[in-house]
Amino acid sequence: MRLQPRLLVVLALALFSVPSLFAGEFPTGKFTNKGPDGSTWAISFDGKGKVTVFREEKEMVKLDYKVTKDEIEFSNETGEIADKDAKPGSYKWKLDGKKITFTKVKDDAEGRSQALTSGAWEKKD
């Protein structure tokens, strides 16, 4: 019977450790990608819920973002090419080394969806 309390402690520790082993923290900083027209696009996450989108170093759009585990939601667009009527859009995100990819879950804003899912975005130091 002495083994049972130890087993419970081990199980409890394992349960509380698993989320931290598998849940990656969403990265901050600037990521770049080449657009279909050959121009360089960048997305910069500030770690405080704001993301800025640049085309060839020119600020184009600002959005709010919210991360829950492996899903990110974008909303409240402002800026030169903003879709001000866009509803929030959600994506799965995955970080592989210095590259982040987005897979659409739900988003009616086609421009945002095409840009985010066009390929891997590479982190710039």
Residue-wise pLDDT tens digits, 61-71: 999 999 999 99
Q: Where are the domains of the chain?
A: 24-124
Q: What is the pLDDT of residue 58?
A: 97
Q: What's the mean pLDDT in 26-55?
A: 95
Residue 84's SS3 state is: coil
> Is residue 14's pLDDT more than 80?
no
Q: What is the pLDDT of residue 117?
A: 95
- Is CATH 2.40.160.20 correct for 24-124? no
| pLDDT tens for each residue of 49-107 | 999 999 999 999 999 999 999 999 999 999 999 998 999 999 999 999 999 999 999 99
Q: What is the pLDDT of residue 17?
A: 33
Give the confidence band of 16 by pLDDT, cuts at 50, 70, 90.
very low
What is the 3-state composition of the chain as percent helix, strand, coil, each rounded to the nearest 5?
Answer: 20, 45, 35
> Is residue 7's pLDDT more than 60?
no
Q: What's the mean pLDDT in 14-29?
A: 55
User: What does the alpha-carbon distance between residue 97 and residue 23 come to, in Å, rounded to a whole number?
Assistant: 15
Are 50 and 59 within 8 A, CB to CB?
no
Q: What is the pLDDT of residue 24?
A: 60
